[in-house]
Chain A
Amino acid sequence: MNGTGKGATLYKILTKQKALIAILVMLIGMLFSHSNFYSAFNLLQMLSSTSILLILAFGVTLTIIAGGCDLSIGGIMVVAGIVSIKLMNAGMPMGLAIFFAVLFGTVVGFVNGFLAVHQKTEPFIITLGIGLLLTGVAQQLTNAHPVPAQNPNFMMIGNGYFHGVPNLVIIMLVLFALTYWLMRYTEFGRNLYAIGGDYEVARYSGIDVITTKWLAFVISGTMAALAGVLLSSELNTGSAVYGETTALVVNCGVVVGGTSFAGGIGGIPQSALGLLVFGLLSNSMNMLNISSYFQIMLQGAVIVAIIWMDSYAQKRRREAV
């Protein structure tokens, strides 16, 4: 393979599309497995169960593109889900309960933005702290026992089908379209790219960097809360189980898709691909009857590998400059 020409371009494509490659590898691999992987049921099921993670990823992508990250999404997710169920169980109409649950996420996002953007605290650690706090809140609210929902209609949201397609998938696709439009076709989204690409240049160009970046956190929090409501609906309970791991897995998934922690590059479709890698990984492992312990280990190893590669690539970029 020579230094320029076809060999080098192939290498370039390979490194840029690592998520796509990973997915293709797994899809091909599963062809050889004697399992029900390629049944319509399983594929839809996989998409449906990854939908929640995808919704989380859409929100987080905004913060990562802007040069930060949001590790509180797990905590927001569980608390929002619990809040919605508790409010409904206390008699509040479903719509209103959901509204307040999502509002909760917006408020937390606002606080995150304040600390990370206005106060200039390191986003990764401050959102980690908030996430920890919220996990405790979730445990407190549920007393570590899942809280079952009493409103029968609630379950339909997360488990229903609309013309054969799971509701979750439809909602996820709608949010996909919305955030995609936001990042690609609005000034807000383009400014986020600028802020992540070079904060000072963006500032000098007159962009209100603080408000814009702050908003990214608000949106991330809101979507995390939405995901939480949907999760509770799917499980029909409010549980404090998912938490720190989710946040780290989702943030890493976004990076795998091609959005770097350095900021300024990536996008919603890329994040979707990245999360699908994790979704596919987990589903295939289940299909192959790999023990859950191995699955955890593999997930951890994948996270390490992804960040390692991202750092290594950044190192090369730094040296090139």
Chain B
Amino acid sequence: MDSGGSEVILSIKDVCKSFPGVKALDKVSIDVKRAMVHGIVGENGAGKSTLMKILSGVYEKDSGTVVFDGQQIEHTTPQQSMQRGLAIIYQELNLVNTMSVGENVLLGRFREMKGMRGTHARARELLDRIGSKIGTTRLVSELSVSEKQMVEIAKALSFESKLIIMDEPSSSLTAEEMGELVKIIRQLKDQGISIIYISHKLDEIFEFCDNVSVMRDGRVIDTKPKSEYTRNELIMQMVGREIENEYPERPQRVGEVLMEVHSINTRKLHDVSFSLRKGEILGFVGLVGAGRTEIVRALFGADKVRGHQVSIEGKPTPIRNPRDAIGAGFGFIPEDRKLQGLVLPFSVESNISMASFRKFTRLGFIRKSVEKEIGTRQVKALSVKTPSTKVPVVNLSGGNQQKCIVGRWLEISPSILIMDEPTKGIDVGAKYEIYMLMKEIAERGGAIILISSELPEVLNMSNRVLTVFEGRITGEFDPKVTSADKIMSAALGFDGACS
């Protein structure tokens, strides 16, 4: 299965993990060798982060075995995992912003380091080992993302780690910073440390990984030395499945321009402008943190952004808050349905009717019968599985909860519906239902702005795709015509659009 000879430091065999309604890992088996860089590729939802969280002790596996450095691992905690020599550097960095670099590297080990001086001295040592010049007394909040990653690597090294897992480390790095990271990875490898490198970026995988595993839908498709892979083969294994029946046909009747937005400028965004046509699904592709959600939030008035112009059907329409946006015909399905979309203890019908006050109130008074009608109507139209419209929405499954939010907006027939990660954490059946819905909305003359980290979803559903990188729009593509790879490149900042 892999290049023979060297010893295996981590052996994962038939590991399974399920969450309510979703099978995240299905008999995953991977062997990682000592002093090797093992790449793991796969899209969102492939199961990579679930696997890493099991390794680091955040989650418990349902079944299967994990053997690290000769020891079988069961019921472990993050701390134990680190002490054993398995360190993980998450995408969402695990640092205390209000404390110094030195203290973060040796967090919780003040006494062991014999105080502040010892802490900073050891931190200095570790940072020097990876060639970083960051001052140990600087506050983490002042550092750039790449500097923070260095601090995390130093932290991993402080435990004499034998295996370091890096989860999408380069997602927010410039090319230059990436070069530094590559040097460090090679240094670590020379020091006998194994690295698991999780990434979307095929160029990196091919540059410095030794072995590569491809994951898809909770399974490992294959594990081979990089030399035995071609680029196309990798992409196909990542993305390839029965695409035909997974997504409906794209909306066919794209009409004239419905909305235009000019020059959104914020701390993160730079001169974002684009247009939206009637009957189209416009997809935004980009890495986590590229600015996609910021763009739609600025558009919807959810964030205080000034200085940009929005016009709808040619008429300038100032949008300063969500109410203005809704009045102008927008709807917004936020990224995190539990924290931003639903009022969990409230009933299904209350959650659905939330945006429709005008419909079910008259002269300031609520008409409960109308509210019930609204709830029942949407539950029926969207096939929401619930015993009644009066149950608390928290009792419903993720997919059905999401449908309630969709129903909330459908009730007021928005002309522009923004959907941010609409199918996150939803089972396949419900996903298809939501896709059909999106198509219906578009075909009735509405328009949809779709943000999704699942590349196939965005590419298959959208009529048009805009790529976002570091707060800028770097390209506009027709996914029917352009290859996924080319679109991804633009989303990663290549093609000379910007460095």
Cβ contact within 8 Å between A185 and B115: yes
Contacts of A202 in B (CB 8 A): 96, 107-108
Chain A, residue nearest B88 (CB): A204
Contact with B96, one of A186, A187, A197, A319 (Cβ below 8 angstroms): A197
Q: Does B94 contact A (CB under 8 A)?
A: yes
Q: Is A175 at the interface (CB under 8 A from chain B)?
A: no
Collect the chain B residues with CB atoms within 8 Å of residue A184's CB.
116
B296 within 8 Å of A (CB atoms): no
Q: How far is the CB of A148 from chain B (nearest CB, A)?
A: 47
B110 and A187 contact, CB distance less than 8 A: yes
B103 neighbours in A (Cβ, 8 Å): 190, 193-194
Cβ distance B129 to chain A, nearest Cβ, rounded Å:
20
CB distance from A186 to the nearest CB of B (A): 7
B226 CB, min distance to chain A CBs, angstroms:
32
Is the Cβ of A206 less than 8 Å from the Cβ of B82? yes
Decide: A197 and B79 in contact? CB cutoff 8 A.
no
Secondary structure of the B contact surface, majority rule: loop
Chain B nearest CB from A134 CB (Å) reads: 32
Q: Are B116 and A185 in contact (CB under 8 A)?
A: yes
Q: Which residue of B lies closest to A195 (CB)?
A: B96
Q: Could you say which residues of chain A place their CB within 8 Å of the CB of B303?
A: 319
User: For the complex, is A207 an interface residue (Cβ under 8 Å from B)?
Assistant: yes
In the complex the two chains form, is B267's CB within 8 Å of A205's CB?
no
Give 1 or 0 for each of B203-245: 1 = CB within 8 Å of chain A CB.
Answer: 0000000000000000000000000000000000000000000
Residue in A201, A265, A319 whose beta carbon sits within 8 Å of that of B107 in the complex:
A201
B94, B109, B116: which contacts A201 (Cβ < 8 A)? B94
Query: Chain A at the B interface: mostly helix, strand, loop or mixed?
Result: helix
For chain B, residues 54 to 89, give those with C-beta under 8 angstroms from any C-beta of chain A. Answer: 58, 77-79, 82
Q: Is the CB of A198 within 8 A of B97?
A: yes
Check B98–A193 contact: CB distance below 8 A: yes
Q: Which A residues touch B304, using CB under 8 A?
A: 319
Contacting pair B267 A197 (CB below 8 A): no
Is A264 interfacial (CB 8 A cutoff)? yes
Q: Judging by beta carbons under 8 Å apart, are A320 and B267 in contact?
A: yes
**In contact, A191 and B108 (Cβ under 8 angstroms):** yes
Is B99 positioned at the interface, with any CB of A under 8 Å from its CB?
Answer: yes
Q: How far is the CB of B423 from chain A (nearest CB, A)?
A: 27
Interface flags for A296-321 (1: CB within 8 Å of B; 0: not) read 00000000000000000000000110
Residues of A within 8 A of B109 (CB): 187
From residue B33, how far is it (CB to closest CB) to chain A in Å?
A: 27
Chain A window 3-44, contacts with chain B (Cβ cutoff 8 Å), 1 for yes, 0 for no:
000000000000000000000000000000000000000000
Q: Which residues of B (101-116) have their CB < 8 Å from a CB of A?
A: 103, 107-111, 115-116
Contact A190 B78 (CB under 8 A): no
B113: nearest chain-A partner, CB-CB: A187
A204 CA / B53 CA spacing, docked (Å): 12
Task: Tell me the complex Cα distance, A182–B111, Å.
Answer: 12
Contact: B108 with A197, CB < 8 Å? no
A204 adjacent to B78 (CB under 8 Å): yes
**Which residues of B lie under 8 Å from residue A206 when comparing CB positions?**
77-79, 82, 108
**Contact pattern, A 161-203, Cβ under 8 Å of B = 1, otherwise 0:** 0000000000000000000000011110011011011100110
Query: Is B404 an interface residue, CB under 8 A from the partner?
Result: no
Say which size band chain A's interface belongs to: 20 to 34
Closest to A65 in B: B98
Asked if B458 CB lies within 8 Å of chain A CBs, one says no
The answer for the CA separation of A185 and B107 in the assembled complex, in Å, is 14
With a cutoff of 8 Å between Cβ atoms, the chain A residues found around residue B58 in the complex are: 204
Considering only residues 285-305 of chain B, those with a C-beta below 8 Å from chain A are 303-304
Contact with A194, one of B77, B78, B96 (Cβ below 8 angstroms): B96
Please give me the residue from chain A that is nearest to B82 by CB atom.
A206
Which residues on the B side are within 8 Å of A205 (C-beta)? 78-79, 94, 107-108
CA distance A190 to B98 in the complex (A): 12
Instruction: Give the Cβ gap from A296 to chain B, nearest Cβ, in Å.
Output: 35
Known: A185-B116, A206-B82. A190 touches B110 (CB 8 A): yes
Q: Is B276 an interface residue (CB 8 A)?
A: no
Chain B nearest CB from A201 CB (Å) reads 5
Closest B residue, CB atoms, query A196: B98
B96 x A264 contact (CB < 8 A): yes
Contacts of A319 in B (CB 8 A): 303-304
Compute how far the CA of A194 lies from the CA of B79 in the bound complex, rounded to whole angstroms: 15
Interface flag for B9 (CB, 8 Å): no
A201 to B78, CA, bound (A): 11
For A191, the chain B residues whose CB sits under 8 A away are: 108, 110
Which residues of B sit under 8 angstroms from A194, Cβ to Cβ? 96, 99, 103, 107-108
Distance of B188 from chain A, by nearest CB (Å): 21
Contact of B97 among A197, A204, A207 (CB under 8 A): A197
Confirm or deny: B95 has a beta carbon within 8 angstroms of a beta carbon on chain A.
Answer: yes
- Distance of A248 Cα from B108 Cα, bound (Å): 32
Which interface residue of A190, A198, A265, A320 has the most chain B CB atoms within 10 A?
Answer: A190
- B119–chain A nearest beta-carbon distance, Å: 8
- Provide 25 A-B residue pairs closer than 8 Å at the C-beta atoms, listed in order of the A residue: A184-B116, A185-B115, A186-B111, A187-B108, A187-B111, A190-B110, A191-B108, A193-B99, A194-B96, A194-B99, A194-B103, A194-B108, A201-B94, A201-B95, A202-B107, A204-B58, A204-B78, A204-B79, A204-B94, A205-B78, A205-B94, A205-B107, A206-B108, A319-B304, A320-B267
Seen from chain B, the residues whose Cβ lies within 8 Å of a Cβ on chain A are 58, 77-79, 82, 94-99, 103, 107-111, 115-116, 267, 303-304
Top-9 shortest CB links A-B: A206-B79, A264-B98, A187-B110, A197-B96, A197-B98, A187-B111, A205-B107, A207-B108, A205-B108
Besides the contacts A197-B98, A205-B108, what 4 more A-B pairs have beta carbons closer than 8 Å? Answer: A186-B111, A205-B94, A206-B82, A206-B108
